[in-house]
């Protein structure tokens, strides 16, 4: 098959979405207690959205969301946690609390009063911790493809059986996190993701495990049950870390939450299916922003979003 025909056939099997040009933003290092973190802030008068990245990510992994949310009228803040991207590691003997760093950056340093908080993967566990510490600061909470760091023994046992490190320790991270459908349909996007991951931290990405930030709260199911902040729960249908069945378990403890599955996505739905992800979060934000002055922007239906409504008693 000629190369051009092969390329056309591949493009028919997957909608290739190039990374959009980023919206203008102020960026730099924020001097926080005990550490300097890199951040980007688009500014503006609209409601604020704070994006919290995955363990293997950094602020750079929100390239598909930052310009879209900004165009919709939101002030968008991204940042890299300690030891990720351009952020410093801080005290090597005590890396502190991730939710405290988030609060110090967004509320104290940048002066934001209330905001939408979006967390993907490990960023979702930090978002849960923040929601328990500062619910009054949140307009909404979006958790995508996250284990949410619950420490109840039965849940920990479930995860240890689901995530066999003895079987996966030698498998490249991208092969686990990105769905097979995405890797087959968008090899160039896969390569771009791999290259961004290399910039997360010098050396093997597994070294990130050496940076362990504690949670302020004891995250148990009883605590999760107490969260009343408007919540959106999402995962990819091919997420090997957070499969739909695990999301259903999480949703059973957050009965007020909206629950969505993004098809043909793995552990990075914001990267693999950005149109579906953006459509879902914008629609959710706009429901909350009726009383916060957000700009009304219609989010079209997306065929890659499946609404799960089987969580009611």
Convert the pLDDT of each residue in 237-246 to its tens digit: 999 999 999 9
Residue in 188, 208, 193 with CA at minimum distance from that of residue 270: 193
Task: Tell how far CA 144 is from the center of its chain.
Answer: 6
Q: Tell me 201's DSSP state.
A: S
Mean per-residue pLDDT, 183-212: 80
Average pLDDT over residues 233-258: 96
User: Burial, 161: exposed, middle or buried (Cβ in 10 Å; 0-12, 13-18, 19+)?
Assistant: exposed
Distance in angstroms between the alpha carbons of the first and the last residue of the chain: 54
pLDDT of residue 13: 79
pLDDT given at position 208:
57
Does the structure show a pLDDT above 50 at 296? no
| Chain centroid offset of residue 267 CA | 9
Q: Where are the alpha helices (DSSP H) in 134-179?
A: 153-162, 165-168, 173-177
Percentage with pLDDT > 90 across the chain: 77
Query: Residue 30 has what pLDDT?
Result: 98
Stretch among 56-70, 83-97, 243-257, 298-312 having the lowest mean pLDDT: 298-312
Question: Residue-wise over 64-73: b if at least 16 C-beta within 10 A, else e?
Answer: bbbbbbbebb
Residues 225-240 have a mean pLDDT of: 97
* 291 or 96: which leads in pLDDT: 96
Whether residue 210 has pLDDT greater than 70:
no
- pLDDT value at 293 more than 50: no
């Amino acid at each position: 098959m000629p190369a051009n025909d092969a390329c056309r056939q591949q493009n028919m099997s997957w909608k290739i979405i190039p990374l959009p040009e980023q919206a203008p933003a102020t960026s730099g290092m924020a001097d926080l207690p005990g550490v300097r973190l890199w951040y980007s802030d688009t500014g503006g008068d609209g409601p604020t959205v704070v994006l919290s990245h995955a363990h293997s990510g950094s602020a750079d992994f929100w390239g598909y969301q930052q310009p879209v949310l900004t165009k919709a009228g939101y002030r968008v803040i991204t940042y890299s946690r300690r030891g990720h991207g351009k952020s410093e590691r801080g005290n090597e003997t005590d890396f502190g609390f991730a939710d405290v760093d988030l609060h110090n950056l967004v509320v104290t340093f940048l002066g934001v009063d209330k905001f939408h908080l979006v967390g993907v993967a490990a960023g979702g566990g930090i978002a849960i911790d923040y929601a328990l510490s500062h619910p009054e600061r949140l307009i909404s909470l979006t958790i995508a493809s996250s284990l949410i760091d619950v420490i109840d023994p039965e849940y920990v046992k479930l995860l240890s059986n689901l995530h066999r490190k003895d079987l996966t320790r030698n498998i490249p991270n991208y092969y686990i996190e990105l769905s097979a459908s995405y890797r087959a349909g968008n090899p160039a996007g896969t390569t771009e993701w791999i290259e961004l991951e290399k910039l997360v931290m010098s050396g093997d990405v597994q070294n990130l495990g050496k940076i362990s930030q504690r949670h302020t709260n004891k995250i148990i199911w009883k605590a999760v049950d107490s969260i009343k902040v408007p919540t959106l729960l999402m995962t990819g249908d091919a997420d090997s870390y957070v499969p739909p069945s695990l999301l259903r378990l999480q949703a059973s403890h957050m009965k007020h939450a909206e629950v969505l599955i993004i098809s043909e996505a793995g552990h990075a739905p914001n990267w693999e299916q950005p149109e579906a992800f953006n459509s879902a979060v914008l629609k959710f934000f706009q429901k909350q922003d009726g009383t916060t002055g957000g700009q009304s922007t219609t989010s079209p239906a997306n065929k890659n979003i499946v609404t799960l409504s089987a969580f009611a008693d």
